[in-house]
Structure 1
Amino acid sequence: MNERYLGAREEPSSFASYGTWARTADKLVLTDSKGEKSYYRAKGDALEMLDREGNPIESQFNYTLEPAQSSLPMTPMTLRGMYFYMADAATFTDCATGKRFMVANNAELERGYLAARR
């Protein structure tokens, strides 16, 4: 998820995270790669952010997330997983989600991964 705080006076006002999601009868539960949960509920074509226990937030501020037509976030973030290279094919398996991605086969990535393992 890419969060951008409108009207923020200090940088950075954009934050990127990734993880898994689950749907309950009335809520959407997002769990980031660190295990932190955030809760939302449908409000028309939008989502309303809920508090840490999944209850409505009583506030003068607007906690409604509107749909946006934008490309995937380009915010850099650290990922934790397993890099695997075999027969000219490289993959990365993300620890948080278990998803496997094809990655560019380059020597710099392989050297960085080997150095990080030490």
Structure 2
Amino acid sequence: MSFDKVQPFSSSSGPQQVAFHRTELSVILSLYGRMVAAGEWRDYGISTLRDLAVFSVFRRTAEHPLYRIEKRPKLRGRQGQYAVVGMDGQILKRGHDLKTVLRVLERKLIRSVT
């Protein structure tokens, strides 16, 4: 048996984790920066899992997230792969375009500034 034929990590098993792309993170971090400047948000966390990627937003470091921005590629053909989920688990907005989905949070920024 030759070692060049042994493949311990097969590439046919599909992606190991779902993650945000650089352009997606740019859009999310732009909103995050504006909310931090307004004093609404203070911390964030990113989780990459097998079925979804999550960007969690916190008001304080050691509490439950205020919002979760989720990416679920399996829902791309249905409701849309992006969703904003509230603290109580309710889906506030779901869709195919990340910028459109994040508008639900930008409205909160407009209210906090005025």
TM-score by length of 2: 0.30
Ranked by relative contact order (alpha carbons within 8 Å, sequence separation 6 or more), the top structure is 2
TM-score by length of 1: 0.29
More helix by share: 2
More strand by share: 1
